[in-house]
């Protein structure tokens, strides 16, 4: 069964007070670069970007990593990505600190983990 990791970039980037708010596009690019080389057990990693962060990484596939630009709400895009993967029969994990979003994706059968889990994987 394929595994998919959906990443709420805004929550992951925002979990570290490293000045990301001064350069949202650069912070998104650094997260993308970390995910691109990370050794994770997931078949696909989906990085969801919204707002100014979209300027840091173009949408599309880079090996096992796929970047998605949210047209409006990042949360709605994350739910849509999780739903599509679950409907294909994939095992889905979503990384976000947003409790409401966690509840929404858990309702689809996804596992929800916090940003610190992902950042530990990237360090």
pLDDT higher than threshold 90 for residue 108: yes
| Distances from the Cα of 106 to the Cα of 45, 82, 83, angstroms | 18, 10, 10
Residue 21 pLDDT: 80
Domains held by the chain: number: 1
Where residue 9 sits, what CATH number does that domain have?
Answer: 3.40.50.1010
Domain range for residue 85? 3-122
Q: pLDDT value at position 16?
A: 84
Distance separating alpha carbons of residues 18 and 5, to the nearest angstrom? 24
Joined together, the tokens standing for residue 27 give 């912070």
Helix or strand holding residue 33 (H, E): helix 24-37
Sign of the alpha-carbon torsion through 107, 46, 35, 99: negative
Q: What is the pLDDT of residues 53-104, one digit of tens each?
A: 999 999 999 999 999 999 999 999 999 999 999 999 999 999 999 999 999 9
pTM of the predicted model over 0.85 = yes
């Amino acid at each position: 069964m394929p595994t998919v990791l959906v990443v709420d970039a805004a929550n992951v980037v925002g979990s570290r007070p490293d000045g990301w708010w001064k350069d949202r596009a650069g912070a998104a690019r650094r997260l993308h670069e970390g995910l691109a080389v990370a050794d994770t057990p997931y078949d696909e990693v989906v990085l969801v970007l919204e707002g100014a962060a979209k300027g840091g990484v173009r949408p599309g596939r880079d090996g096992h990593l796929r970047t998605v630009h949210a047209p409006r709400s990042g949360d709605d895009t994350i739910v849509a990505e999780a739903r599509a993967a679950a409907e294909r029969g994939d095992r889905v994990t979503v990384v976000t600190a947003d409790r409401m979003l966690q509840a929404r994706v858990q309702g689809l059968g996804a596992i929800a983990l916090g940003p610190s889990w992902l950042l530990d994987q990237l360090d």
